[in-house]
Structure formats: C-alpha cells, structure tokens
Amino acid sequence: MSEAGAHPADGRADAVAAGLATVERRIADACARAGRDRDEVTLVVVTKYFPVSDVRLLADLGVREVGENRYQEAVAKSEECADLDLRWHFMGRLQSNKAAATGRWADVVQSLDRAKLVTPLARGAEEREGRGPLDVLVQVNLDTDPEEAQGRGGADPADVPALAEAVVAAASLRLRGVMAVAPREGDPRAAFERLRAVSETVRAVVPEATYVSAGMSGDLEVALECGATHVRVGGAILGNRPTNG
C-alpha cells in the first residue's frame, strides 16, 4: 500500500529518476576512462512507445533531448508537449511520403539515408517558421548481413560523402554528422570504429559536422570509447516498453 498522500505517479517518477541517474553515471564513467569531458556527450532519451507523462517526468528531471522512431507517435507527443523546452530527434526509418512532414516537425533528423529524401525533407524544413535550418545526420549502415542492412536502413559507407554533399547543398538543412546502429551480431567496437572512420570522411567535406550518434542501452560505453558524441538510450532509463505499444 502506498504512503498516505502519495501521488499514484510518485513511484514512476522515482523509477525514471533512478534510471536516468544510473545512465548518467555510466556515461560519466565511460568518459573518464576514455579521457573525455562529460560535456562532450549529449544524451538523447528515446521515448518510443512510452506515454507523454514519461516525457514530462524527463523534462522535470532536466532532460531536453528526446528521441522518437515512429512518425505519428512523434508528432502527437511533440504537440502535447509544446509547452516544454524540448529538442525532438527523429531516428526512425524515414519514409518518402513522410519526409516533408518530418522536416516541418523535427528539430533533428538522425536517419537520412537516401539522396531522394533530401529534397522533400528540405522542402518541409523551409516551411518551419522562425526555426532556422533543420539539423540532419546521415545514417550509416554498419551491417554486413544484406538482410539486416535492408531492414534497418542506412547508407553504404562508400555513399556517405556524396549524400553529405547533397545535404550541404540544401539551404534549409544543416549537416551535423553521422548516426549508426551497431549490428545485432558481432563486436560493436569494430562497427563503431568503422563509423568513426566514416565520420572523418564527412568532416573532410564539412568540418563542422562533428556529431557521431552511436550507442544505446547495451553498448553506450563502447560507443563513447570510440568517439560518440550522442548516445540514444531508452530502456535503461524508462524500463521495458509498454506491451500495448
């Protein structure tokens, strides 16, 4: 039985705060081991399938960077949380028929992986009122299994420089760097080292494109040791996803 006067959401707030504190310690420890400053790293909390109430709890705890993978859910949450000072990252598979709308809604798109998406994404970004260019990361495919690669998206590493140049040519887009997901099988360190190399080729084209978004709940330490500037964490902070998601 809960304590007298306790709000039903108090237990959830405590759980989210504890999860966030644990992940913050993991990030700080990994940065210390790698000889990096904690301020070099941005934590993006992935709220896919979790309710708006969790987003508000995160905001109360000081979280400002929130990630979503599904377009409709992302738009609905961002509208319900319009009163909060949040920066919304879209990191799901970007669809041709949703690219322009995503450009209007998101603050950051981490999952651009095809040249044909640049024009509609830029068109949507042009329609944003008073928000400036849309920040974009090129998603890099690190999978060696063709079936895995097709299912999860991402540009072939050899194609990334040309895709980066296409983003740079769009005035309403701002190239920030690269993003990748480690393969489900194999050593994530080897994959993240490949991403580091791809990032270097992108920075040769656009020196200010310094973002490297890599690492999730299970491999964030390895990603940080390999130079990640952004980590995307959901379950380690918010727990198991709701079964009705």
- pLDDT value, residue 242: 78
CA pair distance 200, 197, nearest whole angstrom? 5
For 107, the token pair is 């603050």
Burial class (CB in 10 A: 0-12, 13-18, 19+), 35: exposed
Instruction: Compute mean pLDDT per 10 residues along the chain, 245 residues long, and list them.
Output: 47 96 98 97 97 97 97 96 97 94 97 97 93 96 72 89 96 98 92 97 95 97 98 96 64
Give pTM, 2 decimals: 0.92
- pLDDT value, residue 3: 42
**Type and span of the H or E element at 204:** helix 188-205
- pLDDT value, residue 17: 97
Task: Look at the block and give the residue holding tokens 């450009």.
Answer: 103
- pLDDT value, residue 2: 37
CA pair distance 220, 98, nearest whole angstrom? 30
- pLDDT value, residue 186: 86
Asked whether the beta carbons of 106 and 90 are under 8 A apart, the reply is yes
Q: How many residues does the chain have?
A: 245
- pLDDT value, residue 127: 94
Sorted by where each starts, the structural domains of the chain and their CATH numbers stand as 10-238 (3.20.20.10)
**Type and span of the H or E element at 42:** strand 42-46
Q: How do strand 134-139 and strand 87-90 relate by DSSP bridges?
A: unpaired
- pLDDT value, residue 148: 58
- pLDDT value, residue 146: 61
- pLDDT value, residue 243: 62
DSSP string, 184-197: SSS-HHHHHHHHHH
